[in-house]
Chain A
């Protein structure tokens, strides 16, 4: 990957970047965007593969927070269960995915639909400042929390040049 040759300085400013289509930025769903009407965000990146299910996929809303020890990613994934949740790491990409099935009550018909049920999926590019081997994940009340520890001994170090 060409973008793996980033300088350490760039890592400081862009610790984790969600991998998203550029159209999103145009719609103003970027960093510090105010909460909109609460509707679900559409799935990311077309071309990631044809969907093999008939239900839609949505992108969970996330907070990416810097803490003392590293980074925390919180994702709202209501309906997600631990046994159908997948957290994947490939190179510097972290991806989360959960399959959610509609829970329609038996013998009743839908009268009002304000939200649609679908799978959750989102991907993040993570800088080398964080250790992807040490990722831990916990799911509680439909919120996934990922913890990424800081790299204690980064591969790339700044070498001080002493004046001769």
Chain B
């Protein structure tokens, strides 16, 4: 996919993601700055993103794609009905936002998202016109 001689296009993305998180964490209260943690997979046709979002309702998730930017917004609530007191509280709650800048634009019409067992799976595709093409070299 990405040869060893090629610059890693995701290196810049990693740095940018960290900067974005820092910016976002200043405004948002509640959930941790890096929530949810994401893994990004790259392939010839686009990228796939997986994220752990336990306890986040489907209706409380908002995914948007604009050119090369993917934004994941949501809210995690963890109030318990009839709670009298907490012996231990480790699970974070509140609103969260994460933004990823991809090394290439993705087709906003072809985003697939699924949520199961607290795992979000996003599939993003490069537009056909934007994909790298192999040029045949003709013999003279």
- A residues with a Cβ closer than 8 A to B are 15-16, 18, 29, 31-33, 35-39, 61-69, 71-72, 74, 76-81, 103-105, 107-115, 141-143
12 more A-B contacts (CB under 8 A) besides A142-B53, A142-B119?
A: A38-B37, A62-B88, A63-B80, A65-B84, A67-B82, A76-B118, A78-B117, A78-B119, A108-B42, A108-B43, A108-B47, A141-B118
Q: Contacting B39 at CB < 8 Å: which of A29, A32, A74, A114?
A: A114
Interface centre among B37, B43, B53, B92 (most CB of A within 10 A): B37
- Is B31 engaged at the interface, CB distance under 8 Å to the other chain? yes
Stretch from B54-62, B65-73, B128-136 forming part of the interface with A: B54-62
CA distance A69 to B81 in the complex (A): 11
CA distance A74 to B91 in the complex (A): 9
Q: Contacting B80 at CB < 8 Å: which of A37, A65, A79, A142?
A: A65
CA distance A60 to B116 in the complex (A): 18
Chain B: interface residue total (CB-CB under 8 A): 47
Q: Give the distance to chain B from A73, nearest Cβ to Cβ, in Å.
A: 9
- Is B104 engaged at the interface, CB distance under 8 Å to the other chain? no
CA distance A143 to B33 in the complex (A): 21
- Of chain A, the residue at the smallest CB distance from B43 is A108
Interchain Cβ contacts under 8 Å between A and B, 9 examples? A37-B34, A38-B31, A63-B90, A65-B85, A66-B84, A79-B52, A108-B42, A110-B39, A143-B55
- B residues with a Cβ closer than 8 A to A are 1, 10, 13-14, 17, 31-43, 47-48, 50, 52-57, 78, 80-92, 115, 117-119, 121, 123
B40 — which chain A residues lie within 8 A by C-beta?
Answer: 110-112
